A and B are shown apart, each in its own frame.
Chain A
Amino acid sequence: MSADLSPTEEYSLAELCVVACAEAWRGDGEILASPIGTIPMIAVRMASLTFEPDLLYTDGEAILLAEPIPVGVGPDHPRIVEGWMPFRNVFDMVWSGKRHVMMGATQVDRFGNQNIACIGPWAKPKSQLLGVRGAPGNTVNHPTSYFVPAHTTRAFVESVDCVSGVGYDRAAAAGRTAREFHEIRRVVSNKAVLDFETPDHRMRLRSVHPGVTVDDVVANTGFELVIPADLAATRSPTAEELRLIRDVLDPKSLRDNEVKP
Chain B
Amino acid sequence: MADKRMTEAEVVSELRSGMTIGIGGWGSRRKPMSIVREILRSDLRDLTIVSYGGPDVGMLCATGQAKKVVYGFVSLDSIPLEPHFRAARQNATIEAMELDEGMLQLGLQAAAWRVSFLPCRAGLGSAILDVNPSLRTVASPYDDGLDFVAMPALHLDAAIVHANRADARGNAQYLGTDWFFDDLFCRAAKKAYVSCERVVATADFVKEGHESSIKLNRSMTHGVVEAPFGAHFTHCLPDYARAEAFQREYADSAKTPEAWAEFFEKYVAIGDHAEYRARLGLGVSS
Task: Identify the stretch in B35-43, B86-94, B159-167 within 8 Å (CB) of chain A at 4 or more residues.
Answer: B86-94
A147 CB to closest chain B CB (Å) equals: 15
The count of chain A contact residues (Cβ–Cβ below 8 Å) is: 48
| Chain A neighbourhood of B124, CB < 8 A | 136, 140, 166, 171, 174-175, 177-178
Tell yes or no: B145 within 8 A of A by CB. yes
- In the complex, what distance in Å separates the CA atom of A118 from the CA atom of B178? 28
Contact B146 A176 (CB under 8 A): yes
- In the complex, what distance in Å separates the CA atom of A166 from the CA atom of B128? 10
Binary interface encoding of chain B residues 65-92 relative to chain A, with 1 for a CB under 8 A from any of its CBs, else 0: 0000001111100001100011001111
Tell yes or no: A7 within 8 A of B by CB. no
Contact B102 A130 (CB under 8 A): no
B192 CB to closest chain A CB (Å) equals: 18
Binary interface encoding of chain B residues 170-182 relative to chain A, with 1 for a CB under 8 A from any of its CBs, else 0: 0000000111110
Tell yes or no: A51 within 8 A of B by CB. no
- In the complex, what distance in Å separates the CA atom of A117 from the CA atom of B124? 16
User: In the complex, which of the residues B86, B90, B126, B131 contacts A135, with contact meaning CB atoms closer than 8 Å?
Assistant: B126
- In the complex, what distance in Å separates the CA atom of A84 from the CA atom of B179? 12
Contact A95 B177 (CB under 8 A): no
Known A-B contacts A88-B105, A133-B72; A95 and B126 likewise in contact (beta carbons under 8 Å): no
Contact A62 B123 (CB under 8 A): no
Tell yes or no: A127 within 8 A of B by CB. yes
User: In the complex, which of the residues B101, B125, B146, B181 contacts A134, with contact meaning CB atoms closer than 8 Å?
Assistant: B101
| Chain A neighbourhood of B220, CB < 8 A | none
B133 CB to closest chain A CB (Å) equals: 12
A108 CB to closest chain B CB (Å) equals: 14
Known A-B contacts A125-B90, A129-B81; A136 and B128 likewise in contact (beta carbons under 8 Å): yes
| Chain B neighbourhood of A173, CB < 8 A | 125
User: In the complex, which of the residues B86, B128, B237 contacts A128, with contact meaning CB atoms closer than 8 Å?
Assistant: B86
User: In the complex, which of the residues A122, A136, A171 contacts B122, with contact meaning CB atoms closer than 8 Å?
Assistant: A136
Tell yes or no: A131 within 8 A of B by CB. yes
Contact A128 B148 (CB under 8 A): no
Tell yes or no: A98 within 8 A of B by CB. no
- In chain B between 141 and 160, which residues have their CB closer than 8 angstroms to a CB of chain A? 145-148
Q: Name the residue on B nearest A127 (C-beta).
A: B90
Contact A95 B102 (CB under 8 A): yes
Q: Name the residue on B nearest A173 (C-beta).
A: B125
Contact A131 B92 (CB under 8 A): no
- In the complex, what distance in Å separates the CA atom of A125 from the CA atom of B98? 13
Tell yes or no: A91 within 8 A of B by CB. yes
- In the complex, what distance in Å separates the CA atom of A63 from the CA atom of B177? 7
Most buried by B among A63, A91, A165, A171: A91
Contact B121 A178 (CB under 8 A): yes
Tell yes or no: B284 within 8 A of A by CB. no
A183 CB to closest chain B CB (Å) equals: 13
Q: Name the residue on B nearest A104 (C-beta).
A: B80
Interface residues, chain B, with chain A CB atoms under 8 Å away = 26, 71-75, 80-81, 85-86, 89-92, 98-103, 105, 120-128, 130-131, 145-148, 177-181, 237
Of the A-B pairs whose beta carbons lie under 8 Å apart in the complex, a sample of 21, sorted by A's number, is A86-B177, A86-B179, A87-B181, A95-B120, A117-B127, A118-B89, A122-B98, A124-B89, A124-B90, A126-B90, A128-B86, A128-B89, A137-B123, A163-B126, A164-B127, A165-B126, A170-B126, A171-B124, A176-B146, A177-B121, A182-B125
